[in-house]
């Protein structure tokens, strides 16, 4: 995994199917809890922001963590992060309004790749390449077709009318 | 529940059974993750510190969260906090070495009271009165006798030889 | 400080000036980051939610933490929590949509009291009484008149048109 | 940056100066706060663990964040993470006792590279390549010679007698 240049997300090739062509956007605010004594946002807080972005992208596709978990029964299926490559470009600060952008990358049989960025207005603060997998009963599980299909063919309205987001 | 004066923990009435006469002590360090942009420790971080203290007190009595949870089977028994009264007296800062003190209070049929304090050397930074309960399958559970008995009669060595702590 | 019954917030005496008559509401979602292995929300996460609620109440009154901090110059003025009394009534779970309600209580010369609650729909999950103070250069500071005045006479639209909230 | 195989840390080439030959070890316990509803440790919690490891490695070399920050005066110098490449190999669970291993990598004029791993006994749970930099007054700063020198020639006792660690 290599961290993509921020520009890859900023100016996506909109014709590519299954590419990062239609990033999902989640707006969020920086609170006390996210900062550290240096005055800026604590580096691990960005991972929480990225995870909120992925969760909301999935929710917009009607894929919800709590339902997947319950559907797994005693196995309790859930997504896990397998790998991340992060570039921290500029700091975020208290009270900042940020945008988490999430684009769907390659969908494998047992893993999903997403390319993410965090921006403040037009400034890119962070880029991330993330590979996630589905785990149940302590073992990797095949991504169910109904989830993979949704991710491979995200609806056109996803980018056009992002509900509740910037 | 009322927050006790720090002095109640500092100078316990050692003859009282079930009082905070034998506080457990856990040493911990303040890291980047615990601070906020004000330069001091974020107020919710102290709750994480207090919970570590309660967990280590229980572990010293051979009561472990993961074992209780597994023993609950599908019900997944675990402790929950029911009520807390907190007084924030002085701030802690990056790199500070703190001591979390935990004394066992009243043991009821379905709840356990603990009195806690966080100190930096001789300075009290925070006091807390905490009431916890056991929950399984979404409902309050009676504290099992083997747990209640250990808490009602903590071993004499607890205060005398706190393993791994200050 | 005593924790008020949830009903005090649910059915406020709307005629009282400066009471919890006009709670501010902030909607938020429960994410992975907020939960713990018991399956529900980690107890300290609620303090982060409460702080977001207080921050957004202040922002709605044009009081921003980062501006107060910068205005303090080398002293770096900021609000701190002095005392909290918390009652945890019911657990919140992954993917829950919660509402943080914040009402302004007594405004003293050096402290501000707020009464808060966290709800899921009509269910009260938590109530909190919070006393905050302003600190600069390591010492308590008098609440500036321009802040105290805004809190003592919150605008009528605060409850009527809560921008960006439920 | 590429994530190194776990074996690179497990069986270091001890003759190499400035390599990951002498990993620093920090023992830590998994608490409630570190887990999420999936039952295992939340992925961002590992970044907090890694940061504790780097902080304790620096402290063992008499380099303390709070002193660097204070020495920076109004500029408030502090380390920031510039890039991370993470591989999550196995999950950690509640009550686990983990070891964070930190080895010093390349020391540049304005950046420091560290290779880290988190283990539970002999099992590797995570590997990380981390590049950090020093920032003051919003700009990157040259690593001071007294810090760079300590990192380039870590004392022999570092690996031999790790104070307070496994």
Position A152 confidence tier, pLDDT thresholds 50, 70, 90: confident
CB contact under 8 A, C86 and B86: yes
Reply yes or no on whether the pLDDT at A148 is more than 60: yes
CA gap A40, A43 in Å, rounded: 9
State yes or no: pLDDT of D119 exceeds 60: yes
Mean pLDDT computed over A72-95: 91
Catalytic positions of A, please?
36
The answer to whether the beta carbons of residues D18 and A98 sit under 8 Å apart is no
Token couple for D105? 């990598």
Name the range with the highest mean pLDDT among B144-153, C11-20, C32-41, C61-70: C32-41
Of B36, B44, B74, the CB nearest to A36: B36
- When mean pLDDT is compared across A158-162, C82-86, C112-116, the lowest value belongs to A158-162
State the pLDDT confidence band at B138, using cuts at 50, 70 and 90: confident
Q: Does A94 touch chain C (CB under 8 A)?
A: yes
Whether A2 has a pLDDT exceeding 80, the answer reads no
Query: What are the catalytic residues of C?
Result: 36
pLDDT of residue B56: 95
A16 pLDDT tier (thresholds 50, 70, 90): very low
Nearest to A36 among B32, B44, B74 (CB): B32
Please check whether residue C74 touches B, CB under 8 A.
Answer: no
To test the contact with chain C by mutation, choose from A27, A29, A38 the residue with the greatest count of C C-beta atoms within 10 A, namely A29
The Cα of B52 is separated from the nearest Cα of chain D by a number of Å equal to: 7
Which B-chain residues 39-68 have CB contacts (< 8 A) with chain D? Answer: 48, 51-52, 55-56, 59, 64-66
> What distance in Å separates the CA atoms of residue D43 and residue D161, rounded to the nearest whole number?
30
**How far apart are the C-alpha atoms of D29 and C12, rounded to whole Å?**
45
Q: How confident is the model at residue B4 (pLDDT cuts 50, 70, 90)?
A: very low
CA distance C94 to chain D (A): 7
C-alpha pair distances (Å), A95 with each of B34, B40, D66 = 19, 18, 24
Which strand (E) or helix (H) includes residue A51?
helix A45-60
Contact B36 A37 (CB under 8 A): yes
Query: Measured between beta carbons, which residues in chain D are less than 8 angstroms from residue C88?
Result: none
Find out whether A50 and A128 touch, Cβ atoms under 8 Å.
yes
pTM for this predicted structure: 0.86
Mean pLDDT, range C91-108, rounded to an integer: 94
Q: Which of C120, C103, C121 is nearest to C112 (CA)?
A: C103
Residues A79, A132: Cα–Cα separation, whole Å: 6
Choose the mutation target among C34, C38, C65 for the interface with B, i.e. most B CBs under 10 Å: C38
At residue D85, does pLDDT exceed 70?
A: yes
CA-to-CA distance for B47 and C45, rounded, in angstroms?
9
What is d(CA D121, CA B106) in angstroms, rounded to the nearest whole number?
Answer: 38
Rounded to whole angstroms, the Cα distance separating A164 from A155 reads: 17
Decide: D86 and D126 in contact? Cβ < 8 Å.
yes
Residue A159, pLDDT > 60, answer: no
Return the pLDDT at A154. Answer: 77
Cα separation of C68 and C141, whole Å? 12
CB atoms A84 and D80 under 8 Å: no
Say how many Å lie between the first and final Cα of chain D, rounded: 29
For residue B57, give how far its alpha carbon lies from the nearest alpha carbon of chain A (Å): 27
Confidence at residue D52, expressed as pLDDT on a 0 to 100 scale: 98
What residues of B act catalytically? Answer: 36
pLDDT above 70 as % of chain D? 80
Evaluate if residue B143 carries a pLDDT over 60. yes
Q: Residue D16 pLDDT > 60, yes or no?
A: no
Q: Assign residue C29 a region: left if phi > 0, alpha if psi is -120 to 50, beta otherwise?
A: beta
Residue B74 has pLDDT above 90, yes or no: no
pLDDT of residue D67: 87
Q: Which residues of C touch B45 (CB under 8 A)?
A: 44
Does D65 sit within 8 Å of B51, measured CB to CB? no
Whether B37 sits inside 8 A of A40 (CB atoms) is yes
Cross-chain Cβ contact A76/D38 below 8 Å: yes
Closest chain C C-alpha to B104 CA, distance in angstroms: 19
Which residue from A minimizes the CA distance to D42? A80
Q: In sequence order, what are the beta bridge partners of D111?
A: D133
Q: Which backbone phi and psi does D33 adopt, to 5 degrees? A: -55, -25
User: What residues of chain A lie within 8 A of the CB of C51, using their CB?
Assistant: 31-33
pLDDT (tens digit, 9 = 90+) per residue, A77-88? 899 999 999 999
Smallest CA–CA distance, residue C38 to chain B, in Å, is 6
Q: What is the mean pLDDT of residues B110-130?
A: 95
pLDDT digits (tens, 9 = 90+) for D26-46: 999 999 999 999 999 999 999
Q: Is D43 within 8 Å of A81 when comparing Cβ atoms?
A: yes
Q: Which of C32, C51, C65 sits opposite A65 (nearest CB)?
A: C32
CA distances from A120 to A96, B95, B136, C16, D51 (A): 7, 31, 44, 41, 25
State residue A8's pLDDT score: 41
pLDDT-derived band of residue C67, with 50, 70 and 90 as boundaries? Answer: confident
In this structure, what token pair is assigned to residue D29?
């316990």
Which residues of chain C have a CB within 8 Å of the CB of D40? 37
How far is the C-alpha of A151 from the C-alpha of B156, rounded, in Å? 60
Nearest by CB to D36, from C35, C44, C74: name it: C35
CB contact under 8 A, B94 and D66: yes
Residue among D17, D52, D16 nearest D34 (CA): D52
Average pLDDT of span B14-24: 52
Q: Average pLDDT of B23-27? A: 92
**Cα distances (angstroms) measured from residue B141 to each of A130, B81, B108, C117:** 41, 13, 12, 25
Q: Do C88 and B91 count as a contact with CB atoms less than 8 A apart?
A: no
CA distance D112 to D125: 23
Question: How many angstroms separate the CA of residue C128 from the nearest CA in chain A?
Answer: 18
Question: What is the pLDDT confidence band of residue D124, given thresholds at 50, 70 and 90?
Answer: very high
On whether the CB atoms of residues D115 and D122 are closer than 8 A, the answer is no
Q: Are C92 and C98 in contact (CB under 8 A)?
A: yes
Look at D65 and B128; give whichever has higher pLDDT.
B128
Q: Quote the distance between the C-alpha of residue B31 and its chain's center.
A: 20
Report the Cα A28 to chain-centroid distance in Å. Answer: 13
- Best probe of the B interface among D45, D65, D80, D164, by most B CBs < 10 A, is D65
Inter-residue contact A31 to A42 (CB < 8 Å): no
Contact criterion met (CB < 8 Å) for A86 and D88: no
Q: Does A33 touch chain B (CB under 8 A)?
A: yes
Which pLDDT score, from 0 to 100, does residue C158 have? 61
**pLDDT higher than 60, residue A54:** yes
Interchain pair A36, B40: CB under 8 A: no
pLDDT of residue C81: 97
Residues forming a β-bridge with A136: A139
Contacting subunits of B (3+ beta carbon pairs below 8 A): A, C, D
Please tell me which residue of chain D has the smallest CA distance to A135: D38
Q: Tell me how close the Cα of A40 comes to any Cα of chain D, in angstroms.
A: 10
Q: Is B36 on the interface with D (CB under 8 A)?
A: no
């Amino acid at each position: 995994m290599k961290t993509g240049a921020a520009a890859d997300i900023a100016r996506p090739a909109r014709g590519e199917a299954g590419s990062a062509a239609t990033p999902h956007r989640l707006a969020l605010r920086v609170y006390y809890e996210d900062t550290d004594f240096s005055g800026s946002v604590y580096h691990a807080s960005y991972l929480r922001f990225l995870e909120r972005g992925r969760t909301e992208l999935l929710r917009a596709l009607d894929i919800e963590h709590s339902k997947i978990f319950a559907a797994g029964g005693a196995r309790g299926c859930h997504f896990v992060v397998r790998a991340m490559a992060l570039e921290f470009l500029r700091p975020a600060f208290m009270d900042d309004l940020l945008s988490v952008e999430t684009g769907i990358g390659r969908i494998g049989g047992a893993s999903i790749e997403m390319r993410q960025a965090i921006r403040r207005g037009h400034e890119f603060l962070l880029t991330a390449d993330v590979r996630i997998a589905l785990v149940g009963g302590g073992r990797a599980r095949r991504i169910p077709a109904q989830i993979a299909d949704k991710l491979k063919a995200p609806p056109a309205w996803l980018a056009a009318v992002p509900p509740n987001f910037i």
